[in-house]
A and B are shown apart, each in its own frame.
Chain A
Amino acid sequence: MAHDRPQHTSPLGYLSHGLVWLYGLLLAVPIYYLLVTAFKDNTAIFSSPAAPPTTFRFDNFINAFQFVDLGHALINSTGITIGAEILTLLLAMPAAYALARSEGKLGEFIEKLFAAGFLIPAFAALVPTVLLAIAMGLFYNPLFLVIFFPATQLPLSVLLLTQFMRAIPKELEESAMMDGASRWAILWRVYTPMIIPGLVTVALLNFLTFWNEYLFSLSILGTDTATRTVQVAVPSLIGQQTTDYGLLAAGCLISLIPVFLVYVLMQRRMENALVAGAVKG
């Protein structure tokens, strides 16, 4: 929008540029602090918190990994994330396809149900969910999160996928049916390949949510090293009396690696997914 860029920047214009970049700086500084802290020990952190590290020692990373058994936690998180992701998509895809192609009142109602469900924060059901895990005999069992997480992301997944599928011309479905293809065959062989961008969007959102989830993981899997996820393991680096901040920062960075990698690989997709996922409801 070139017209929005005046030839001469007014004093007020400079002020607004300045304020925006000040906020940008405010965002960057804690991240910078996290990075430099991860390479320092407490003495260096306390004496000059903002200074860059003098040496690049990876002791903190190695120690964080060993002290709280991050390897195990990463495996748990990965298993839960992948399992829940697959289950979410398996549940959401057929529903989205049917909703996209339905014309009746029932379809409308189901869509409204998911739209309303999108507004219910999962936190509202935290305690009953823990009780449910106990009742199902799956307390302290990662399997429960694989089963439960999809429910939290189904409204968004179904609504977004439905929108993507609606964009596919109806004639395609009708001609496939004429050829005798079943609805399941149409879904997996005709529709799925055509909505890959939508599928990636939804998969990315689910990945972020599942990988980053903290409170349900803590309440249902606890802090035992055998079951806990990486989000729960990292805060356990906080000591009862004193905390090794370098160690904590290093553990924190390790837990960010998967998300960071995905972001670097598909920055645009991820940004679009987050924007689409924030308000669709």
Chain B
Amino acid sequence: MTTLTAKPPLGAPLPPAARPKPQKTRSIASSRRLSLTVMTSPAVIWFLAFMIVPAISIFVVSLLDWQGLLAKSHFAGLENYQKMLRDPVFWSAVRNTAVHVGVVLAIMIPVSFMLGYYLNTKPRGHRALRVLFFTPALLSISARAMVFFGVFAPGGLVNGVLRAVGLGDIATPWLADPSTSLGVVIFIDLWAGIGFTAILFAARLTSVPTEIYEAAELDGASHWRKMWQVAFPIIKGYVGVVTMLQFLWTLFNSATTVLLLTKGGPGSSSTTLSFMVYNEAFIQSDIGYSQAIGVVLFVVGLVGMLIISRLIRQNY
């Protein structure tokens, strides 16, 4: 009897009549289950070992007193969390993160949606616009930061142009001025994100049948009304998903931009939670404390995602 798992050897197929039919289907079903396990397990194990286990272990590390990557660690209970509540830099980072994420999403999502609608009407020059909108998506976060390091330098483009048009009084060392440093970080995220998000929306809007617009036009609807009362309700679910992803992206990935441009300063004026995770671990060498902030970041991400998805569902 053939075992259920045995596969016929290559080049020696069994004639179809050699086995009764029910047994054969069972053999295919179970060999399918086995091959599912065998073929997916490398990917699953890899993903668990290098992504999920490290991500979960932040909860454990946050309970440790761990000063430096190569130092010994001790169990410290909730000490890191207590330190956090007393740390003015942490509260400054909470405030900055709220401003950063709030401003970026509030501007990016509506503007991108309108730009996406605009692109989808295929106006003159829309191909050139598409290429322009894509360009920031090709730049690495570090290259992006380097571009704006030059643009916002004391003798860089922005100040040069301001002086040239007689607005030299506004010129400031943008990255080293506590009133503008966070603004620059927000600006860069918007600069890079709006166009690409618009292209995502435009791609989705192509699935809206033209008849629907035509019907709205018969009722005399303007572009503004077609955009918000016809197109938006149809792709609202998609807008929600994109909002969720941009939320996570903005919340977690500001560390690189902040690290390269302002190092969180001056003072803590541009310190975000994301940057603080990096800074506490690798600059201040307080691994446990860094991961306590990492846990906060994780929880904020989770709660924010739930809120956004609840908002989408409520409006359906």
Contacts and interface: CB of A to CB of B under 8 A. Distances in A.
B151 A113 contact: no
B50 A132 contact: yes
Given A37-B150, A263-B138, A279-B242, A4 B122 contact: yes
B140 A231 contact: yes
Given A26-B191, A37-B150, A123 B47 contact: no
Nearest to B139: A256
Interface stretch (A53-61, A65-73, A144-152, A195-203): A144-152
Interface string A79-110: 00000000000011011011101111011001
Given A3-B214, A24-B129, A155-B47, A30 B10 contact: no
A274 B137 CA distance: 8
Nearest to A212: B140
A24 B199 CA distance: 13
Contacts of A265: none
Measured as residues with beta carbon below 8 angstroms from the partner, the interface class of chain A is 35 or more
B27 to A, nearest CB: 11
Interface string B39-67: 11011101101111111011001000000
Contacts of A267: 131
A57 B142 CA distance: 25
Contacts of A266: none
Interface stretch (B88-96, B176-184, B276-284): B276-284
B81 interface: no
A197 to B, nearest CB: 17
B55 A98 contact: no
B13 A179 contact: yes
Interface string A254-281: 0110011001000100110011001101
B113 interface: no
A75 interface: no
Nearest to A263: B138
A110 B36 CA distance: 10
Given A34-B147, A211-B140, A20 B35 contact: no
B108 to A, nearest CB: 12
B46 to A, nearest CB: 5
Contacts of A62: none
Contact of B294 (A119, A127, A271, A275): A127
Interface string A176-200: 0111111101010000000000000
A179 B55 CA distance: 45
Interface in B118-137: 118, 120-123, 125, 128-137
Interface of B is mostly: helix
Interface string A16-45: 110011011011111101100100001001
A16 B118 contact: yes
A226 interface: no
B143 A95 contact: no
Contacts of A33: 147, 150-151, 157
B196 interface: yes
A103 B35 CA distance: 12
A167 interface: no
B47 A154 contact: yes
A125 B58 contact: yes
A252 B118 CA distance: 32
21 contacts: A5-B122, A13-B223, A16-B223, A30-B148, A31-B147, A45-B150, A45-B155, A49-B155, A91-B43, A94-B43, A124-B252, A124-B297, A125-B51, A127-B277, A127-B290, A234-B143, A243-B149, A249-B150, A263-B138, A271-B134, A274-B134
Interface of A: 1, 3-5, 12-13, 16-17, 20-21, 23-24, 26-31, 33-34, 37, 42, 45-46, 48-50, 91-92, 94-95, 97-99, 101-104, 106-107, 110, 113-114, 117, 119-132, 134, 147-148, 150-152, 154-155, 158, 177-183, 185, 187, 208, 211-215, 219, 231-232, 234-235, 238, 243, 245, 248-249, 251-252, 255-256, 259-260, 263, 267, 270-271, 274-275, 278-279, 281
The 10 A-B residue pairs with the shortest CB-CB distance, nearest first, are: A212-B140, A49-B160, A151-B50, A128-B54, A180-B13, A95-B43, A125-B54, A98-B39, A46-B155, A94-B39
